[in-house]
Amino acid sequence: MNTEISPLRKKQLIEFCKQRNLKFKDLSLLNLAFHHRSYANESNVQKYFNNERLEFLGDSVLGLATADFLYRDMSSNHQEGDLAKIKAAVVSEKALAPVAISYGIDKLLILGHGEELSGGRTKPAILADCMEAIIGAYYLDQGFESAKKYVLSFIEPEIRKVQKNGGKDFKSLLQELYQKKCKKIPVYELISVSGPEHAQIFSVSVHLENITYGPATGKSKKEAEQNAASMAYHAITS
């Protein structure tokens, strides 16, 4: 099985590690984490070269790292159900996919031709699975403590959001508030996209009838929408 990493690919992986402060001894593990099964299925040479085993492992590492943090962070007044609710929210596909986009993981994915044409690079399930595969690869390469540190670098901010908002993000909070008040839903408008392809900045406004909040920016459209929703929600409730 030919799994040799090209010089260009090696450069991309090293840059990814540099941006995320990761230290891989074996870059082939990280490279494997980006290989979706659709590519393997279309390849006679690399038929079994996909990230599913790493994803399986990374899912458990992610869950343990998150549970360990929550147990230590939250007082004994919070029962198992409280911890489980937060854990479920932050290790979900909904939470992981935007992080993957902000990390540029969509651009490093290795997909089959059919999956590429069907928009696989933007599918939340594929992005979240790749996030877990990277965690699994890092665990194998550097051990649990290093993998936990990497996990908490993006999971802790998500935990704080959930703790603050009772498990709801600002788009959900704004929609609930606005629907209750006006029986309508907020309308989001993409104002602009700027910057190089690997580091784009999205600008979004949110319209509540004749009142506009924003624009707010983010590293993804979803992040910009969340920031615009946060701006509107805080303006309405302050």
* Catalytic-residue membership of 115: no
Residue 6, token pair as written in the block: 């090209």
Q: How far is 85 from 16, CA to CA, in rounded Å? A: 31
Give the residue among 111, 107, 105, 99 at the shortest CA–CA distance from 151.
99
Q: Are 229 and 206 in contact (CB under 8 A)?
A: yes
- Among 55, 115, 129, 132, the active-site one is 132
- Which DSSP symbol is given to 15? H
Residue 200, token pair as written in the block: 């784009």
Q: How far is 88 from 82, CA to CA, in rounded Å? A: 10
* H/E run at residue 17: helix 7-20
Q: How far is 231 from 225, CA to CA, in rounded Å? A: 10
Number of C-alpha atoms within 13 angstroms, CB side, residue 64?
14
Q: How far is 87 from 158, CA to CA, in rounded Å? A: 10
- Among 55, 59, 141, 158, the active-site one is 59
The amino acid at residue 111 is L
Q: How far is 41 from 50, CA to CA, in rounded Å? A: 9
* Catalytic-residue membership of 132: yes
The residues carrying an active-site annotation are 59, 132
